[in-house]
């Protein structure tokens, strides 16, 4: 494992004309050949990958194979050629409020605004609202917010991978990252087994006493309580949900704080009985915010569990990219640290032997930090893509048919700013 680092001083002294800096073996590498900062859509390059901006006046929210879903100020759009053209468009008044989208293998498109969910089965010719069902089968309706401008992020997620093929059908499972901006929100894991026609709740967290609906962006201790009043397990939001086919089990991790009433960083393991349409969830870890269990980017490769930590709070911080057997997640002594990027990092995707992860800008000296390994964690490199400014890349989508990975790049932790596309070499 290579743990050498480029120092903050050296990083900040990198020539301003350089678009980014390579960190490999602790030494600055070759300069990035950058497009002009305003050359939207043009391609720049590093030794490990090419990258580009998205088209102007368009936010590409998700992709799958040849398809991409995007929105503008007035409409939502669907492309069938990796975003080169947008053959399908529909006027949509709340387009700028889109917080989540997923393109199913069969072509169905599920997307959400802050607290509403929609489905199109015909390439945006029609868009129909979807009402979520709770664990009893009853309609699950969003709460009436104290502040209409802060209804909550019911469906927003940090994961770019939210579905898996199980027993011949696609199963969508995701958890909401919420109670940071645009209102306090109940925290749920959702799922669909019929390509978005029906969406149900797989698990509801309890009422968080510190994120009640008081009309503010993140909520507070004196507002209306939200969540399952019968569940003692509470958290602020969900960081990641992932599926392990070797166990036929789902894993979820949450954040964020240590409270005297209880810890908010949990790991859960869940199994689904399709015949009975029942879930069985168990909390397997509850830990402190400065530990490796405040995490995200859960992936499974050959039955092994991989994740990355964004531990913060009191020092020392227990951070890094880790690997273990799933059954050993609660036992630190059985974890293998593959790399320590030193700063808070909560996003990661693995495809074949490629690992792609990112820095959280408010906690890192990198402007837009990208971490890459092409050999499943044996060697590592880090890049600072400076021309985007201070951004936190998140929602890393698998590569489209042309090999481009897609990710949000956000100001602060969560505020939508732009989209970055990366194509490994």
CATH number of the domain residue 31 falls in: 2.130.10.10
Question: Is 340 inside any structural domain?
Answer: yes
Q: Contacts for 129-134 with beta carbons within 8 Å, 24 or more apart?
A: 130/196, 130/197, 130/198, 130/199, 132/190, 132/199, 132/200, 132/201, 133/198, 133/199, 133/200, 133/201, 134/200, 134/201, 134/204
pLDDT digits (tens, 9 = 90+) for 405-419: 999 999 988 999 999
The count of C-alpha atoms lying within 13 angstroms of the C-alpha of 316, restricted to the half-sphere facing its C-beta, is 4
* In-domain check, residue 48: yes
Residue 2 lies in a domain: no
Establish if 1 belongs to a structural domain.
no
Whether 339 is covered by a domain: the verdict is: yes
The number of folded domains in the chain is: 1
**Closest residue by Cα to residue 191 from 307, 63, 279, 100:** 279
- How do residues 209-234 score in pLDDT, each as one tens digit? 999 999 999 999 999 999 999 999 99
d(CA 117, CA 197): 11
**pLDDT tens for each residue of 136-149:** 999 999 999 999 99
78: CB partners within 8 A, 6+ apart? 67, 68, 69, 70, 86, 87, 88, 89, 109, 120, 123, 124
Name the token pair of 39. 């050359």
| Residue 225, domain member (yes or no) | yes
pLDDT tens across the length of the chain (425 residues): 333 333 222 332 232 333 344 444 332 222 333 333 444 568 999 999 999 988 888 999 999 999 999 999 999 999 999 999 999 999 999 999 999 999 999 999 999 999 999 999 999 999 999 999 999 999 999 999 999 999 999 999 999 999 999 999 999 999 999 999 999 999 999 999 999 999 999 999 999 999 999 999 999 999 999 999 999 999 999 999 999 999 999 999 999 999 999 999 999 999 999 999 999 999 999 999 999 999 999 999 999 999 999 999 999 999 999 999 999 999 999 999 999 999 999 999 999 999 999 999 999 999 999 999 999 999 999 999 998 899 999 999 999 999 999 999 999 889 999 999 999 99
Q: Is 3 within a domain?
A: no
Nearest to 157 by CA among 117, 122, 209, 130: 117
Q: Is 95 left (phi over 0), alpha (psi -120 to 50) or beta?
A: alpha
Q: Could you tell me if 207 and 229 are in contact, meaning their C-beta atoms sit under 8 angstroms apart?
A: yes
Domain with 41 in it: 8-424
């Amino acid at each position: 494992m290579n743990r050498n680092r480029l120092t903050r001083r050296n990083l900040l002294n990198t020539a301003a004309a350089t678009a980014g800096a390579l960190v490999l073996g602790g030494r600055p590498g070759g300069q990035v050949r950058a497009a002009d900062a305003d050359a939207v859509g043009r391609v720049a390059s590093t030794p490990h990958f090419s990258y580009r901006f998205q088209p102007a006046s368009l936010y590409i929210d998700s992709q799958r194979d040849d398809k991409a879903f995007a929105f503008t100020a007035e409409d939502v759009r669907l492309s069938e050629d990796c975003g080169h053209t947008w053959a399908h468009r529909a006027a949509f008044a709340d387009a700028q409020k889109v917080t989540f989208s997923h393109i199913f293998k069969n072509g169905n498109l599920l997307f959400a605004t802050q607290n509403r969910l929609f489905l199109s089965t015909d390439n945006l010719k029609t868009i129909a609202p979807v009402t979520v069902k709770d664990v009893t089968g009853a309609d699950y309706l969003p709460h009436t917010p104290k502040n209409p401008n802060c209804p909550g992020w019911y469906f927003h997620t940090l994961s770019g991978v939210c579905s898996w093929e199980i027993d011949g059908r696609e199963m969508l499972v995701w958890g909401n990252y919420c109670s940071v901006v645009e209102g306090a929100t109940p925290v749920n894991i959702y799922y669909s087994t019929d390509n978005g026609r029906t969406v149900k709740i797989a698990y509801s967290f309890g009422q968080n006493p510190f994120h009640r609906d008081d009309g503010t962006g993140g909520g507070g201790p004196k507002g209306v309580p939200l969540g399952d009043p019968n569940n003692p397990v509470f958290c602020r939001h969900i960081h990641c949900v992932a599926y392990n086919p070797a166990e036929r089990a789902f894993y979820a991790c949450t954040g964020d704080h240590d409270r005297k009433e209880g810890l908010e960083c949990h790991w859960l393991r869940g199994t689904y009985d399709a015949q009975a349409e029942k879930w069985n969830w168990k909390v397997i870890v509850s830990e402190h915010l400065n530990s490796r269990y405040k995490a995200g980017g859960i992936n499974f490769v050959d039955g092994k569990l991989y994740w990355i930590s964004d531990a913060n709070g009191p020092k020392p911080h227990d951070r890094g990219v880790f690997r273990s057997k799933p059954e050993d997640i609660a036992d630190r002594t059985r974890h293998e640290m593959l790399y320590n990027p030193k700063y808070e990092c909560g996003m990661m995707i693995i495809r074949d032997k490629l690992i792609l992860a990112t820095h959280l800008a408010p906690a890192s000296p990198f402007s837009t930090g990208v971490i890459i390994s092409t050999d499943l964690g044996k060697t590592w490199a880090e890049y600072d893509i400076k021309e985007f400014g201070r951004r936190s890349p998140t929602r890393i989508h698998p590569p489209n048919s042309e090999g481009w990975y897609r990710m949000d790049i956000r100001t602060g932790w969560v505020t939508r700013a732009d989209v970055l596309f990366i194509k490994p070499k």
